[in-house]
Amino acid sequence: MTESPAAGPAAPLRAEALTRVYGSGALGSRHAVHAVAGVDLTLGAGEIVALVGESGSGKSTVARLLAGLERPTSGRVLLHGAEVGTLRGRAFRRYTRQVQLIFQDPFASLNPVHTVRYVLRRSLAIHRPQLRGAARDDAVRGLLERVRLTPVDRFLRAFPHELSGGQRQRVAIARALGAEPAVLLADEPVSMLDVSLRLGVLDLLRDLRDTMGIAILYITHDIASARYFADRILVMYQGQVVESGDSESVTQRPEHPYTRLLIDSAPDPERVVR
């Protein structure tokens, strides 16, 4: 299914016919596994798009392809309208400054032996090396304030194990913001958090979208949170986008049986079980 893009060709990030095949043999081989098959996706500036599907649907593979962590078997990725080629060395660093990936598990993605201050200073050293000394320290404090980890001095010397899951995820978001990206790829960013913390992290990401104009791809299995959080929803099933549209239309007037199954599976306090 081809997505109806909400933005023009100069959108921060686009994927065209993105395909990733694993296994031996050619594309048509019976031994090949099509994890992603011909996905079209557009992320407009200041837009939140949700990619929704069950485990194994291919949504996290899409995130890894867009992040440059894997190479597509076919198809192409465009950043600000320019096709992205092979990403190695400096080219990869230039790309990741624009496109940052936030992982599902904030504890696993943060080195347990490093303080929050070190983690954020390292991000700035890589992506904004012109900042040095006091300027870099000021930028670190600014990142913590931006993700609402205050008072800042309390968190600068903290190690990951001293933080809650929500606080760790906010540090991971701050680290990504250190690159001043145009795009955030958020791969199940709240699925490992307590229910009470999830809304706060989603509201933080929405605020970053509103204040910084960042495009966000929100990858989730939870279509209810996608309806709350995203402007548009793309539903993935067996490596393909089977339905797309604005969040209200997709969730209130679903056309594909798989979309209806996801909606029926979502918790609904108003649904009466007989």
| pLDDT at residue 173 greater than cutoff 70 | yes
In a domain, 4, yes or no: no
**Mean pLDDT, all residues of the chain:** 89
The H or E element spanning position 171 is helix 165-177
In a domain, 273, yes or no: no
As a whole number, mean pLDDT of residues 247-259 equals 94
Distance set, CA 145 to CA 61, 128, 138, 192 (Å): 32, 18, 11, 23
In a domain, 174, yes or no: yes
More confident residue, 268 or 250: 250
- Assign 53 to helix, strand or coil: coil
Q: In this structure, what token pair is assigned to residue 165?
A: 């899951």
In a domain, 271, yes or no: no
Number of domains in the chain: 1
The H or E element spanning position 210 is helix 195-212
| Per-residue pLDDT tens digits for 217-238 | 999 999 999 999 999 999 999 9
| Per-residue pLDDT tens digits for 33-78 | 889 999 999 999 999 999 999 999 999 999 999 998 989 999 999 9
pLDDT band at 90 (very low <50, low <70, confident <90, very high): confident
Specify the pTM.
0.89
In a domain, 7, yes or no: no
CATH number reported for the structural domain that contains residue 150 in this entry: 3.40.50.300
What letter would DSSP give residue 58?
Answer: S
| Per-residue pLDDT tens digits for 199-218 | 999 999 999 999 999 999 99
